[in-house]
């Protein structure tokens, strides 16, 4: 495995607040990694640290094996598209694309034009006058057409409608298949991206709470539902991530069921189903929220 | 953890290319630094021409006016001050965008300072050329002096160019310090910056007073070429340029 990003014991403090709290992980080459978490969990700060825009409080970051801060050799191989990106006054869409074409060594102008047409980006409009969705579309075009070896999308589609988001996922996958590269996708729209991801990082209140292959993660929890009494009996003593009760029926999301346990549950008349990535993340992040309240 | 292999190291794009990108970042939209200033400059000049014409007509012809009637004009200082404004504007607007595109602070700053230097050279050259036209046309046919007024009237063109370049550079570098302070600490930083600048100027004036240096300074200014005099500001410009980098080196792109 080749590590494009390697983060060790990384902490970033703003005053007493630890926006990123002792985080360690690796982003593998030629994979799509999801960086998931709630708003304010520390996703953007983490990515700004990785791209050398923020200064670390402690810990180390390696980007292509080198420290990223002020390092043109590795930053020029990286494209970081963030929702909060601001543009110079008076800049139109065409100016943004022009500068991007100079800065990114692997820029594909034909792909950019193609995407502009598909996302219907008004290139002659000032960035300030664009709607949120149009400005996001510019970011998406830059992120895809840059063909950077490491491309990081931070909530790239704020304001984009479902059709445009679908188009983004399709174009991302198609271009990724043709030109394999390392992609980090940060979002809170977990269900939408679940199928794209090969690896999942979940951050909550600055801490990394999940670091797993998407495949393993999907098998790591199961939803069991049926009559409330039966479900409760089954869930007793297990690691329950989430419980929902509707009338006399209940469903629980539990971790780590063996095949024989699944069979036992089914035999007891309970319905056993897969759990979505989103449910899993909600279960885990709610868990930490509960602990916070309790402590 | 799995065994981690290091990806192949790729050298950075060559420095000239990186600096070129930082410079081009400011030219991508040429209006704020290349077009608008000339338009405003043309407007200011046009107004001056109109006023000269009105005054000359009211007097019944320019032969009825004093020979130095139109010798004093500060229109050119507008462009020089605008270089300061451009420095502040360009940096505060493009810094976050540049970092968002993966530029390093160092490349961005060097490219930006180089661009501001080029602007000073270019605007000074434009003024010098127009000053020659002004002399050849006897002040646009009205005896007016706009591009080389007052004590600059008889200065050789290259000296006029040098003088405006150096002054423009100084103002642009003061602008970069102000801009770096803004980018790093926003309004709070600028209040402190202006307070400190005022303190520094007053302190210098006081020092001049207690050491009775005002009279010698006046003598020096009146006995030396303007080009020699302004050369003394070059170290200040260099110092401001370095200070701007020290400030920006630790700045983060915040909204």
The domains located in chain A, with CATH, are: 3-214 (3.40.50.300), 220-294 (3.30.70)
Residues 6+ apart with CB under 8 A from A84: A44, A154, B255
pTM of the model: 0.89
Nearest 5°: the CA angle A181, A186, A188 is: 145
A19 φ/ψ angles, rounded to the nearest 5 degrees = -70, -35
Q: Is A89 left (phi over 0), alpha (psi -120 to 50) or beta?
A: beta
Q: How far is A283 from chain B (nearest CA, A)?
A: 26
B101 and A1 within 8 Å at the Cβ level: the answer is no
Q: Does A118 score more than 90 pLDDT?
A: yes
Which whole number is the average pLDDT over A53-82?
A: 96
Query: What's the whole-number mean pLDDT along residues A85-108?
Result: 94
Cβ-Cβ contacts under 8 Å for A295 (sequence gap 6 or more): none
Q: Which residues of chain B have a CB within 8 Å of the CB of A98?
A: 28
Residues of chain A with C-beta less than 8 angstroms from the C-beta of B97: 85-88, 91, 99
Contact assessment for residue A41 and residue A12, using Cβ atoms and an 8 Å cutoff: no
The nearest CA of chain B is from the CA of A221 a distance in Å of 23
Calculate helix-pair angle for B214-223, B157-210, nearest 10 degrees.
170
Taking a C-beta distance cutoff of 8 angstroms, is the pair B103, A103 a contact? yes
Segment A129-154 mean pLDDT: 96
The set of residues, in sequence order, having a beta carbon less than 8 Å from that of B10 and lying 6+ positions away, is A64, A73, A77
- Beta strand A150-154 with A182-187 is parallel
Tell me what the mean pLDDT of segment A246-266 comes to.
Answer: 86
Kindly report the number of other CB atoms within 10 A of residue A110's CB atom.
Answer: 8
Apex B144 CA angle, B141 and B150, nearest 5:
145
Is 50 exceeded by the pLDDT of residue A28?
A: yes
Q: What span, in angstroms and rounded, lies between the C-alpha atoms of A240 and B230?
A: 77
Best mutation target among A48, A53, A63, A80 (most B Cβ atoms within 10 Å) is: A53
Contacts of B32 in chain A (CB under 8 A): 89-90
As a whole number, the mean pLDDT across chain A is 91
| Residue B187, burial from CB neighbour count under 10 angstroms (0-12, 13-18, 19+) | exposed
- Is residue A9's pLDDT more than 60? yes
> How many Å apart are CA B64 and CA B171, to the nearest integer?
39
Please compute the mean of the pLDDT values over residues A2-25 and round it to a whole number: 95
Under the banding of pLDDT at 50, 70 and 90, the label for residue A294 is very low
Neighbour tally for B172: CB within 10 Å: 28
Beta bridge partners of A272: A224
Q: A35 - beta bridge partners?
A: A186, A201
Q: Which residue has the higher pLDDT, A289 or A136?
A: A136
Q: Does B105 touch chain A (CB under 8 A)?
A: yes
Query: What span, in angstroms and rounded, lies between the C-alpha atoms of A245 and B31?
Result: 63
How far is the CA of A240 from the CAs of A127, A130, A220, A271, B21, in angstroms?
47, 46, 12, 16, 54
Residue A274 pLDDT exceeds 50 = yes
User: Is the CB of residue A223 less than 8 Å from the CB of residue A253?
Assistant: yes
Q: Record the tokens describing residue B160, joined without a space.
A: 């006029």
Closest residue by Cα to residue B248 from B189, B182, B191 = B182
CB B183 within 8 A of CB B251: yes
Question: How close is the nearest chain A Cα to the Cα of B11, in Å?
Answer: 5
In 3D, which of A238, A220, A196, A224 has the Cα closest to residue A281? Answer: A220
Contact assessment for residue B94 and residue B105, using Cβ atoms and an 8 Å cutoff: no
- In this prediction, residues A234-252 reach a mean pLDDT of 87
> From CA B170, how far away is CA B236, in angstroms rounded?
7
Query: What is the predicted ipTM?
Result: 0.87
Residues of chain B with pLDDT under 50: 1
Look-up of token digits 């229109």: B75
Cα–Cα distances in Å, from B174 out to B39, B85, B111, B245? Answer: 24, 10, 16, 12
pLDDT at A127 over 80: yes
- Say what the pLDDT of residue A189 is: 87
Interface of A with B (CB under 8 A): 1-4, 6, 26, 29, 48, 51-55, 64-66, 70-73, 75-80, 82, 84-92, 95, 98-100, 102-105, 148
Helix (H, G, I), strand (E, B) or coil at A184: strand
3-state secondary structure B155-185: CCHHHHHHHHHHHHHHHHHHHHHHHHHHHHH
What integer pLDDT is reported at residue B138 of this predicted model?
A: 80
Exposure pattern of A90-105 as b/e (b: 16+ CB <10 Å)? ebbbbbbbbbbebbbe
Summarize pLDDT for A182-199 with one digit per residue, the tens: 999 999 888 889 999 999
Mutate: best of B29, B92, B95, B255, partner A, most A CBs <10 A: B29
B22 touches chain A (CB under 8 A): no
Residue B255 confidence (pLDDT): 62
Q: Which two tokens stand for residue A4?
A: 């494009």
- The Cα of B88 is separated from the nearest Cα of chain A by a number of Å equal to 13
A54 with A20: CB under 8 angstroms? no
**Would you state the pLDDT for residue A33?**
97
Q: Does B36 contact A at CB distance below 8 Å?
A: no
- A vs B: CB pairs below 8 A: 107
Nearest Cα of chain A lies from the Cα of B36 at a distance, in angstroms, of 12
Residues in chain B within 8 Å Cβ distance of A92? 29
- List the one residue out of A229, A249, A232, A248 whose CA is nearest residue A240: A232
Q: Is B137 helix (H, G, I), strand (E, B) or coil?
A: coil
Output the CA torsion A151→A156→A162→A166 (10° steps): 0
| Over residues A222-244, mean pLDDT | 87
Q: Is B255 on the interface with A (CB under 8 A)?
A: yes
What pLDDT shows up at residue B4? 67
Is B29 part of the contact surface with chain A (CB cutoff 8 Å)? yes
């Amino acid at each position: 495995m080749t590590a494009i990003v390697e983060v060790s014991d990384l902490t970033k403090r703003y005053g007493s607040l630890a926006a990123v709290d002792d985080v360690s992980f690796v982003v593998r080459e030629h994979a799509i990694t999801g960086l998931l978490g709630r708003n304010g969990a520390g996703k953007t700060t983490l990515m700004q640290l990785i791209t050398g825009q923020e200064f670390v409080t402690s810990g180390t970051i390696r980007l292509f094996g080198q420290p990223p801060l002020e390092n043109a050799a590795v930053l020029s191989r990286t494209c970081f598209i963030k929702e909060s990106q601001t543009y110079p006054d008076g800049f139109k869409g065409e100016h943004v694309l022009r500068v991007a074409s100079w800065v990114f060594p692997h820029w594909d102008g034909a792909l950019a034009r193609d995407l502009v047409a598909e996302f219907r980006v008004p290139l002659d409009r000032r960035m300030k006058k664009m709607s949120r969705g149009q400005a996001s579309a510019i970011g998406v075009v830059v992120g895809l057409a840059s063909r950077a070896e490491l491309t990081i999308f931070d909530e790239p589609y704020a304001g984009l409608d479902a059709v445009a988001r679908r188009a983004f996922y399709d174009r991302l996958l198609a271009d990724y298949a043709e030109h394999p590269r390392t992609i980090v996708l940060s979002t809170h729209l977990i269900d939408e991206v679940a199928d794209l991801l090969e690896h999942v990082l979940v951050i909550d209140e600055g801490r990394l709470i999940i670091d797993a292959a998407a495949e393993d993660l999907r098998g790591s929890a199961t939803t069991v539902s049926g009559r409330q009494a039966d479900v409760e009996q089954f869930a007793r003593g297990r690691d329950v991530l989430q419980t929902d009760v509707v009338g006399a029926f209940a469903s629980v999301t539990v971790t780590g069921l063996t095949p024989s346990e699944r069979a036992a549950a089914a035999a007891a008349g309970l319905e056993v189903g897969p759990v979505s990535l989103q449910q899993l993340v909600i279960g885990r992040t709610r868990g930490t929220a509960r602990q916070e309240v309790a402590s | 953890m799995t065994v981690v292999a290091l990806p192949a190291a790729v050298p950075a794009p060559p420095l000239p290319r990186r600096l070129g990108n930082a410079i081009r970042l400011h030219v991508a939209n040429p209006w704020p630094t290349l077009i608008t200033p000339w338009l405003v400059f043309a407007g200011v000049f046009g107004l001056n021409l109109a006023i000269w014409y009105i005054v000359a007509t009211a007097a019944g012809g320019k032969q009825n006016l004093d020979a130095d009637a139109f010798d004093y004009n500060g229109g050119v200082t507008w462009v020089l001050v605008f270089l300061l404004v451009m420095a502040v504007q360009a940096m505060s607007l493009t810094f976050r965008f540049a970092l968002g595109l993966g530029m390093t602070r160092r490349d961005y700053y060097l490219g930006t300072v180089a661009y501001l230097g080029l602007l000073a050279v270019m605007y000074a050259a434009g003024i010098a050329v127009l000053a020659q036209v002004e002399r050849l046309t006897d002040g646009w046919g009205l005896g007016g002096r706009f591009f080389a007024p007052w004590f600059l009237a008889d200065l050789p063109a290259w000296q006029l160019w040098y003088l405006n370049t150096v002054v423009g550079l100084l103002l642009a570098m003061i602008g970069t310090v102000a801009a770096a302070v803004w980018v790093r600490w926003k309004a709070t930083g600028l209040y402190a910056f202006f307070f400190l600048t005022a303190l520094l100027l007053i302190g210098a004036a006081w020092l001049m007073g207690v050491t009775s240096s005002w009279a010698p300074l006046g003598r020096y200014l009146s006995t030396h070429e303007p080009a020699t005099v302004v050369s003394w500001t070059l170290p200040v410009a260099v110092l401001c340029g370095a200070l701007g980098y020290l400030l920006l080196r630790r700045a983060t792109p915040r909204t």
